[in-house]
Amino acid sequence: MPVPTTRVRRCGGISIIELMLVLMALMFLAGVGWKAASATIANVNNSRISAEFGALNRGLDEFALRFGEYPPDFHDPIAVTKFLKRRFPKCPWQKYPDFCGYSPATALYYWLGGPNGRGFSANPANPFDNGATRIGPFFKFTPDQLKRVDGIMQYYPPRGIDGSPYVYFRGGIKGYDGHPGWQSARPYCKSADGSWINPDSYQILCPGADGQFGVGNHFPDGSDYDDANLDDMANFTQGDTMWQAKPKSP
């Protein structure tokens, strides 16, 4: 009596097992391709952000050259008033704008773009009016990276206007000084002694591809970083993310 044999069912000349192997191989290649494409997109976006940091830095340097110092970041209304009195001594305080609702997330657009995005008036008695002769703007904002939030413009990284905008922090000469930051974003401090990064100038922070700021602020060791910190970037990281700028163990 012949022994029965097990036959593998074939589909169009290809066995089901072979078909499954082909599908698994295609899924693997698709996954590899997706990771490679994602990495390429991230590298391109980071390069664009790095270039934009350079342009923002130049704009702030031009502002400081014209007005004698870098602008405040709106976290302290008293500091804003003192700045305006120093820089625009001929302007009576009654003509000062109402800065209610302004924050480190709106500072870049206001100071580099001016009250209406057209720079400041050259009239020393009222730099906030719409006079024809202008000073600035000091940076060319990309329109599709601007978003009005509660009536005030914020500037977002090239990846889009979802998530968080760029945030500007004016340097603190005496260390952290309890700066409240903006939402979860806070000024970065040196890991060794807690003093500010760029204490005499400023910090510009970018939330990275995930659109979220991390809560950590110890640079460069990142001892308090969370996951959201890792893809964040700053004007002091030389085009790297916070994770790339973190010292690697030998």
Question: How confident is the model over 106-165, as pLDDT tens digits?
Answer: 999 999 999 989 999 999 999 999 888 999 999 999 999 999 999 999 999 987 668 999
Return the pLDDT at 32: 64
- 72 within a domain of the structure (yes/no): yes
Number of structural domains found in the chain: 1
- 76 within a domain of the structure (yes/no): yes
Q: Is the peptide bond before 137 cis (omega within 30 degrees of 0)?
A: yes
- 74 within a domain of the structure (yes/no): yes
Return the pLDDT at 99: 95
- 19 within a domain of the structure (yes/no): no
- 154 within a domain of the structure (yes/no): yes
> Can you name the residues that pair with 121 across neighbouring β-strands?
134
The parent domain of residue 171 ranges over 52-245
* Amino acid of residue 173: I
Q: Is the peptide bond before 92 cis (omega within 30 degrees of 0)?
A: no
- 202 within a domain of the structure (yes/no): yes
Q: Which residues of the chain have pLDDT under 70?
A: 1-13, 30-44, 160-161, 174-176, 250
Return the pLDDT at 7: 53
Rounded to an integer, what distance in angstroms lies between the CA atom of residue 234 and that of residue 239? 8
Are the C-beta atoms of 195 and 203 separated by less than 8 Å?
no
Return the pLDDT at 43: 63
- 3 within a domain of the structure (yes/no): no
- 130 within a domain of the structure (yes/no): yes
